[in-house]
Amino acid sequence: MSKSSVLIFGKTNACRPGLSKCVRCVETVNGTTGEGLSLNIQERKQLAEEWIHQGKDKLDHVIIHVGALSLPESQELARHAAAIGASGIAVIAPFFFRPANKDELTAFLQKIASEAPEVPFYYYHIPSLTGVKIRVEELLDGIKEQIPTFQGVKFSDTDLLDLAQCINKNEREQFAFLYGVDEQLLSALAIGANGAVGSTYNYLGRKTNLMLQAFAKPDLALARKYQFLTGEFLNFVIKLGFGVAQTKAVMTFVSGIPMGPPRLPLVDASEEFIIKAKAKLDSIIWPDGD
Ligand SMILES: CC(=O)N[C@@H]([C@@H](O)[C@H](O)[C@H](O)CO)[C@@H](O)CC(=O)C(=O)O
């Protein structure tokens, strides 16, 4: 089964040798790219176990997404993630019967977080897929009292006003904001996001690391150059039809590791897509050798 998305984490802790300064390797498992919601509970556990095993001594953190429509299933996955030593759990909002307000959403999240009381908890905000548009800024109000393990938000939304308000209110810097719209990461960094989770880092990770370095310098013109490369690729493939299935095809031809077919209703990327996307990516990755 397929890989999930890589997270590039620009926090202040010690850096590992071989990585650019302050970039940490974190894997988020069973999220969107990994089609976690299309897997059964056994498959999700198996994938989580494998990532914890394979990531030992290689990854700084492995965060397992344990969100599900069924609360008991989600709780079971949270307990399992804790038992296998996950460094964090993440949960999306339920998306069939949706919470109507912040209190209902918090109550749902709390019931899951409390099953893993030692494990840092992240809310995975991805309204384009869940349809739950409750503003994160509102959700954060008093969240620590309800969910003591609350650690931050995987923020996969283009609403930078909401993100900015979250960061503005996070005076004690107790929460992490991991941004999930790769083509807008530079804007989110400027506002104060302190990490990123995304699918393109599986194949444009080096360019993104270079962007992070340029941003840290700061050399904004150079940072923009790298951000625009991700944008140029996405802009190209979106016109061909782009989603998780196509992401997997790109990850397969870049890494040589077969990601496996997507699960219905997603269908495999076409040969035409693969040829065009590969040519485009080659033209982006290789010109200057970095
Ligand atoms: C809707 C979606 O798939 N969003 C991606 C982005 O990385 C996205 O592919 C990228 O920004 C291109 O639009 C991530 O936020 C998803 C993600 O991190 C995950 O796999 O959990």
Q: What is the pLDDT of residues 224-240, one digit of tens each?
A: 999 999 999 999 999 99
State the average pLDDT for the chain: 91
Residue 14: predicted pLDDT: 32
Residue 10 has which token pair? 């620009």
Percent of the chain predicted with pLDDT > 70: 90
Q: Which of 181, 239, 246 to mutate to test the pocket of ligand 1 (most atoms within 8 A of CB)?
A: 181
| C-alpha–C-alpha distance, residues 266 and 40, integer Å | 16
Q: Is 199 in the pocket of ligand 1 (CB under 6 A)?
A: yes
CA dihedral 9, 14, 17, 22 (to 10 degrees): 40
Between the CA of 32 and the centroid of ligand 1 the distance, in Å, is 7
The residues spanned by each domain of the chain are: 5-198, 219-290
Determine the pLDDT at residue 6: 53
Q: Evaluate the CA torsion angle 206, 211, 212, 214 in order and state its sign.
A: positive
What's the pLDDT tens digit per position in 91-125?
999 999 999 999 999 999 999 999 999 999 999 99
Check if 197 has its Cβ closer than 6 Å to any atom of ligand 1.
Answer: yes
- Beta bridge partners of residue 124, listed in sequence order: 92, 154
CA distance 44 to 33: 13
> Does 181 appear as a known binding residue?
no
Cβ pair 200, 233 in contact under 8 A: yes
Share of the chain above pLDDT 90, in %: 83
Residue 12 has pLDDT above 70, yes or no: no
pLDDT of 22 strictly over 60: no
Q: What are phi and psi of 39, to 5 degrees?
A: -95, 155
Which SS3 state, helix, strand or coil, does residue 131 take? coil
Asked whether residue 24 carries a pLDDT value surpassing 80, the answer given is: no
* Rounded average pLDDT over 116-138: 98
What mean pLDDT comes out for the span 156-173?
94
**Known catalytic residues?**
124, 154
- The single residue listed with the structure tokens 């270079």 is 210
200 is in an annotated binding site: no
Return the pLDDT at 97. Answer: 98
Kindly provide the ipTM of the predicted complex, given to two decimals. Answer: 0.98
Domain covering 5-198, topology: TIM Barrel (3.20.20)
Per the CB < 8 A criterion, the answer to whether 33 and 7 are in contact is no
C-alpha span between 81 and 85 (Å, rounded): 6
Residue 27 is encoded by which pair of tokens?
A: 């894997």
Q: Largest Cα–Cα distance of the chain, in whole Å? A: 52
Task: Give the 3-state secondary structure of residue 65.
Answer: strand
| Residue range 33-85, pLDDT digits in tens | 999 999 999 999 999 999 999 988 888 889 999 999 999 999 999 999 999 99
Of 21-30, 71-80, 126-135, 242-251, give the lowest mean pLDDT range: 21-30
Q: Do the Cβ atoms of 264 and 39 come closer than 8 Å?
A: no
Q: What is the pLDDT of residue 23?
A: 60
Please give the pLDDT value at position 57: 87
- What is the rounded CA–CA span in Å between residue 39 and residue 1? 9
> Residue 137 pLDDT more than 50?
yes
Residue 290 is predicted with a pLDDT of 59
237 SS3 class? helix
